[in-house]
Amino acid sequence: MSEYRIAIIGLGYVGLPLAVAFAEKYKVLGFDINQPRIAELNNGHDHTLEVEDDLLKSVLSTREGAPGLYNTSKIEDIKGCNVYIVTVPTPIDDDHNPDLTPLIKASETVGAVLAEGDIVIYESTVYPGATEEECVPVLEKFSGLKYNQGFFCGYSPERINPGDKEHTVKKILKVTSGSTPEIAEEVDQLYKSVITAGTYKAASIKVAEAAKVIENSQRDINIAFVNELAMIFNKMKIDTVDVLEAAGTKWNFLPFRPGLVGGHCIGVDPYYLAQKAKKVGYYPQILLAGRRLNNSIGPYVGSQVVKLLMKSGKVVNESKVLVMGITFKENCPDIRNSRVIDIVLELQDFGVGVDVYDPWANAEEVKHEYGLDLLESADMEQYDGIVLAVAHKEFSAGVLDKVKEDAVIYDVKSFFPKDKVTSRL
């Protein structure tokens, strides 16, 4: 194409940083159905904190501006673009089945404005084959065009790490692919023009999809292994972190640590691969075993805290516990699929009074998603137990100076000094 006009469909944790990166060089229209989100971005602020306000403001432009980013919730505004990049969420439902609804709806939106020769690139995490088996038929139906004749597709898996200010979108090598060899090369060159870390052109769209889904599945399985070790060593009264640090002196030992596994990637992606595996006649064992074990860690932590309360002579159903952190990772406002809620629910099942404090999380989002009322501040002295669930920088060891002398302190993240806590995962 002689001139790219790029539409980014979905302006969340993945879409916005990508839109800003492209907007430094191309005309970019950011599209999202969330009108308050559009208003926020057009005022130069990103509440997810993935893009700094100064950077966002520097690329904003009017619709006619070139290059630059114009954000909209109107479908007609993106008509006339020739590259559409879909970055919508791909969640799971309550039964852990992949929910492709956002992806299908986004494909309908794009299909309605698709023109001859356009390219549609998907970044949303899916199982191998989803782009061509699920999305392409929708694009054909709503556009009236034929795949690889009237329009083309690509797949470039997102590699955004929420809250990470070092590994930002332009600094992470990007896998690319296309529906024909020529389109694969064009998609690769497009990304290469803004991704300073470079690109890797995969052999096919399915290969690129598979590469993405196993990246996080691999991490999930490795974390499940050390989580199981933590349970075993707890029975033996051995400190797991001490063991891992000793084992880590070997050059090829992998430095994984036990913990809660949430978020929109590691705790979700294995289910996408597992569903596809079942469809082709294979029931995955390691994939799902890792998921089951990691999903058990929140309740396990809650039960361990209850045992510690009992051992310290406290009446469990009269005890108050403060859970520090609700986001799925440290120094980040992202609460999607946070497994901290499992700790809270387990403690509540035992009759424990639970408060949650998190200076990073949005109170309204937490209330909507988990039904919890966040504390605006925490008076540490009133609690019989403290659970450090998320290692925010605000939760330095100094906060423990105000804790009751006989309080139970459980450190999920091994964040506090070992001699300051009662137990750690």
Catalytic residue numbers?
265
CA 53, CA 51: separation in Å to the nearest integer?
A: 6
Average pLDDT over residues 252-266: 91
Categorize the per-residue pLDDT at 52 as very low, low, confident or very high, splitting at 50, 70 and 90. very high
Tens of pLDDT along 392-414?
999 987 888 889 989 999 999 99
The tens digit of pLDDT for each residue in 144-159 reads 999 999 999 999 999 8
pLDDT at 167: 79
* Mean pLDDT of all residues belonging to the chain: 94
For residues 346-373, average pLDDT: 96
Confidence category of residue 2, pLDDT binned at 50, 70, 90? low
pLDDT greater than 80 at residue 64: no
- Whether cis (ω within 30° of 0) applies to the bond prior to 102 is no
How far, in Å, CA of 75 to CA of 401, rounded?
55
Lowest mean pLDDT of 36-40, 98-102, 170-174, 261-265, name the range: 261-265
The model's pTM: 0.92
Predicted confidence (pLDDT) at residue 120 exceeds the cutoff of 90 = yes
pLDDT greater than 90 at residue 119: yes
CA-based Rg of the chain, rounded to a whole angstrom? Answer: 23
185-244 residue pLDDT tens: 999 999 999 999 999 999 999 999 999 999 999 999 999 999 999 999 999 999 999 999
Does residue 88 have a pLDDT over 80?
Answer: yes
The pLDDT-based confidence of 63 (bands split at 50, 70, 90) is: low
Task: Give pLDDT, residue 75.
Answer: 95
Percent of the chain with pLDDT over 90: 88
3-state secondary structure the chain: CCCCEEEEECCCCCHHHHHHHHHCCCEEEEECCCHHHHHHHHCCCCCCCCCCHHHHHHHECCCCCCCEEEEECCHHHHCCCCEEEECCCCCECCCCCECCHHHHHHHHHHHHHCCCCCEEEECCCCCCCHHHHHHHHHHHHHHCCCECCCEEEEECCCCCCCCCCCCCHHHCCEEECECCHHHHHHHHHHHHCCCCCCEEECCCHHHHHHHHHHHHHHHHHHHHHHHHHHHHHHHCCCCHHHHHHHHCCCCCCCCCCCCCCCCCCCCCHHHHHHHHHHHCCCCCCHHHHHHHHHHCHHHHHHHHHHHHHHHCCCCHHHCEEEEECCCCCCCCCCCCCCCHHHHHHHHHHCCCEEEEECCCCCHHHHHHHHCCCEECCCCHHHCCEEEECCCCCCCCHHHHHHCCCCCEEEECCCCCCHHHCCEEC
Q: Where residue 163 falls among pLDDT bands split at 50, 70, 90?
A: confident
